Amino acid sequence: MLKPFLRKWPFLFKFRLFLGLIFFILILFFLYLKVIPFGNITYSRDYVLDLRSGKGFIYGFTPSERIDLKSGDGPRMIGDPIYFSLFTPRTFDKAKLTITYRDNLGLDTSVIESGVLADNIVWRYELKPIDNKALDYLMLRWHKSEGNGYLFLQRNEDYSSPAEWEKDLAQGELKACADGLEKCLAVYNFSPNYNYQITNYQPSVPLVLDKPLRGSHQFFVYLKNETLHLEFSLVDLNQDLKPAPIDIILSSGDKIITRQALADANPQPGSGKTEEKRVILEQKDLPAGVYKVEVKITNDMVIKKIVSSVDHLSFINKVWPVSNEGPLTIYTDANYLQAKALNPASLQTLKFAGRDFKLDEAYKQFYFKTDSLAKDKEIKLVKDDIVLENNGVFAWSSSSLFNPTLPKVDRFFSVNNKFNYIIADYKKPIEEEGVKTATAEFNLKGIYRENGKYSFIISVPGLKTEDGTDDNLEIYKIKIELEGRTLWQKIWH
Amino acid sequence: MAKNLALISRELFYFSSALLLAFIILEIIWPNIILSYLNLNYLFVFAVLTGSIYLIKK
């Protein structure tokens, strides 16, 4: 019945109807891809084929000097770290990153991690493991148990189950750990439930740190039956045009106890006129233990002075002293030091654990290593304005220095170390004919997103372009599975 | 034959031009929504090609 009716339609009408239908289908199709009503979508980029009809969603790697696009089938990462961004037409809650790669790395670059930029003020990436060769090696040789969301390795079979081990850990009495937990337990991407205590702790005397520090810093404080009182004097340098908000967070484990935030109206952007600000953080009746204080500020701000009621205060992983004064002594517990001078006037020969190390190029990251067995290593700077970083802590006096974190299975970890237990949240990559595939999951809720893009990092700590070796990480494919709220959830909730 | 080709190319030219305009508007409203999937240069070339065929065969 319909056929004779359609036959009467002129060809031009039928052709226009057909093209009109295609037009609306295409528009609806792209609107569907914009809204993603079911909340799930996968974006991928194959670097070997790299056939694309559009720009794609996963953008190229930067910076270009750390990527070799010519030598391999896929781009080769030759320096650490590299970045890429992911464009998404809407926000998502979770991302599962799958990376296919060939690992042409040496033993001193045993860790591969990937992360997403969580905070653009302090430039903090939420890192997740991709590959850890020390763990891969020990998984084949030690007693391995998986479950409870983590991997548990023990040198000897002291415990029949991770639950039994956890019970002893909560009581602080692990078998074969006579010298203390930090000598027998190493962790990776996992924070076990344990309470750090300083034996023979003496009540604190107030501490004044009047050595200015530039940019964000984090530090641990230890207290016992004391009130925590911290006074911060901060200076906004107003050298850039951006506002300089202050956010000071006191936390214990993953729990935020209190925070003090100070917005910046930015009345004099780029003027170079300094503005002084003061923030006080006080918390009473805190149980004995370790607390973390995070001072989140931009690099356009300086922490001029910290007055603390407690004297056990150690900066975590990084310090950037900027007093512009004469010699300065800092203490650290780590055996290596990364140093970068951001000012040619700061180039010098510094002393680390008694040895001289030359810092002779500005903006270049220098790596200094010591075999010193001393607990605290001295860093002597002739002048400051140098960014000092490592995997340990820093303090202005050796009496303030303490490190409550357990040793990590990082690139400095040796499988010959005398640890008896390792606990990690880690999955070994799948390997097929030398090509590895690993996955990492990220929580994207509240994650920084600019111009519709999430920023990702791939990190191989210790991989350097200028070391003369051909160590590299050849990347073949990146796939990102995204999960978010459905359209109905967005409308009704 | 030449008349049909002119007709079809004219209709395809209208279609691709309208589609190009719609995509550009969508792209202005939501940047990258189209360009991530499709390079609009291809569609532009197609519109120019069909337009040229129409002008030649007209």
**Sign of the CA dihedral running A30, A32, A35, A39:** negative
Q: Which residues from B are below 8 Å from A12, CB to CB?
A: 7, 11
Considering the domain boundaries, does residue B5 fall inside one? no
Q: Round to whole Å and give the CA distance between A69 and A60.
A: 11
Output the DSSP codes for A49-101: T---SS--SBPPPB-GGGEESSSSSS-EE-SS-EEEEEE-SS--SEEEEEEEE
CA–CA min distance B41, chain A (Å): 10
CB contact under 8 A, B18 and A23: yes
Nearest-by-Cβ selection for B37 from A12, A23, A54: A54
Considering the domain boundaries, does residue B3 fall inside one? no
State the pTM of this model.
0.85
Nearest-by-Cβ selection for A452 from B22, B32, B39: B32
Residue with tokens 């709220």: A485
Q: Round to whole Å and give the CA distance between A201 and A226.
A: 12
Q: Is A371 helix (H, G, I), strand (E, B) or coil?
A: coil
**Sign of the CA dihedral running A190, A447, A440, A297:** negative
pLDDT for A195 equals 78
pLDDT for A6 equals 66
CB contact under 8 A, A55 and B31: no
**∠ CA A43-A48-A53, rounded to 5°:** 55
Q: Round to whole Å and give the CA distance between A62 and A83.
A: 5
Output the DSSP codes for A463-482: --GGGS---EEEEEEEEEEE
Question: Helices in A172-234 by DSSP H: which ranges?
Answer: 181-184
B9-39 pLDDT, tens digit per residue, is 999 999 999 999 999 999 999 999 999 999 9
A426-445 pLDDT, tens digit per residue, is 999 999 999 999 999 999 99
Q: Which residues from B are below 8 Å from A19, CB to CB?
A: 11-12, 14-15
Largest CA distance in chain B: 42
Q: Round to whole Å and give the CA distance between A145 and A162.
A: 7
ipTM here: 0.93
Nearest-by-Cβ selection for B36 from A15, A54, A451: A54
**Residues A403-420, buried b or exposed e (16+ Cβ, 10 A)?**
bbbbbbbbbbbeeeeebb
Q: Which residues from B are below 8 Å from A23, CB to CB?
A: 15, 18-19, 22
Domain that holds residue B18: 10-57
pLDDT for A49 equals 83
pLDDT for A1 equals 57
Q: Round to whole Å and give the CA distance between B23 and B29.
A: 10
Considering the domain boundaries, does residue B20 fall inside one? yes
**A449 close to A428: Cβ distance less than 8 angstroms:** no
Q: Please name which of A257, A315, A248 lies closest in space to residue A286, comparing C-alpha atoms.
A: A257
Domain count, chain B: 1
Considering the domain boundaries, does residue B16 fall inside one? yes
Q: Which residues from B are below 8 Å from A452, CB to CB?
A: 31-32
pLDDT for B2 equals 67
Q: Which residues from A are below 8 Å from B12, CB to CB?
A: 19
* pLDDT tens across the length of chain A (493 residues): 567 766 777 888 889 999 999 999 999 999 999 999 999 999 999 998 877 778 889 999 999 999 999 888 999 999 989 999 999 999 999 999 999 999 999 888 889 999 999 888 778 899 999 999 999 999 999 999 987 778 999 999 888 888 888 888 887 788 888 888 888 899 999 888 777 888 788 877 888 999 999 999 999 999 888 889 999 999 999 888 888 899 999 999 888 999 999 988 877 788 888 889 999 999 988 888 899 999 999 999 999 999 999 989 999 999 999 987 778 999 999 988 999 998 888 899 999 998 899 999 898 888 888 888 888 899 999 988 899 999 899 999 988 899 998 889 988 888 888 899 999 999 999 999 999 999 999 999 989 999 899 999 999 998 988 777 889 999 999 999 999 999 998 888 7
CB contact under 8 A, A55 and B12: no
> Which amino acid type is present at position A139?
M
**Residues A327-338, buried b or exposed e (16+ Cβ, 10 A)?**
ebebbbbbbbbb
pLDDT for A2 equals 62
